[in-house]
Amino acid sequence: MSRIGKQPVTIPAGVKVAVAGNVVSVEGPKGKLTKPFPKEIGVTVANNVVNVADLTVKKGKDGKDVGTAGALHGTIRAIIRNMVEGVEKGYSKTLLIEGVGFKAAVKGKQLDLALGFSHPILFNIPDQIKITVDENTKLTVEGPDKQVVGQVAAEIRGYYPPEPYKGKGVRYVGEHIVRKEGKTVQ
């Protein structure tokens, strides 16, 4: 049995959680999220609290509860908590672009990145994700789904990860890049 999976998820004011079969829908001020879950996990909503249960629990030889979906139990509880928090407050990641001539701009539903290549990189912005650009070099990725926000930020960073010699590239705010010393003439 998962210790994290046993903990209930409290539903804040302004957020609605609905369970239909094995599909959980969460709606709040920042958006609406829907995710299907395996049938081995039971999700119930009562009194502004979401409970997640492992439906495969059996008594082991030593008398303790043993569930075959133990890893899923805690993971699904954490995903539901992230969904509730995401539609209430939202998630964000901030990226910095460093390099001479490197810049970004939002054009409609596309992010235009100039990262020193011979062509601009056009990144299609997914639904429910908002990207803002400050001073041409500071990108903020915002949205209600923690996984999608992290995935979009990682894809943008993947076009030109920070290199260790000059530090050029796209990096997260607060990310430490280990710098290397270049070649020296003797």
- Distance between CA 6 and CA 42 in Å, rounded? 12
pLDDT for res 61: 72
pLDDT for res 41: 87
Residue 140 has pLDDT above 90, yes or no: yes
pLDDT for res 87: 94
Residue 56 has pLDDT above 90, yes or no: no
Reported as a single tens digit per residue, the pLDDT across 83-108 is: 999 999 999 999 999 999 999 999 99
The average pLDDT across 130-134 equals 95
pTM of structure: 0.86
Reported as a single tens digit per residue, the pLDDT across 1-17 is: 578 888 999 999 999 99
Confidence tier at 149 by pLDDT (50, 70, 90): very high
Whether 52 contacts 102, CB under 8 Å: no
Whether 4 contacts 78, CB under 8 Å: yes
Confidence tier at 124 by pLDDT (50, 70, 90): very high
The torsion defined by the Cα of 171, 176, 178 and 179, in degrees rounded to 10, comes to 70
The torsion defined by the Cα of 59, 65, 66 and 71, in degrees rounded to 10, comes to 160
**CB under 8 Å to 60, separation ≥6 — which residues?**
66
* Closest C-alpha to 77, from 135, 31, 8, 28: 8
Longest dimension (CA), the chain: 74
Residue 170 has pLDDT above 80, yes or no: yes
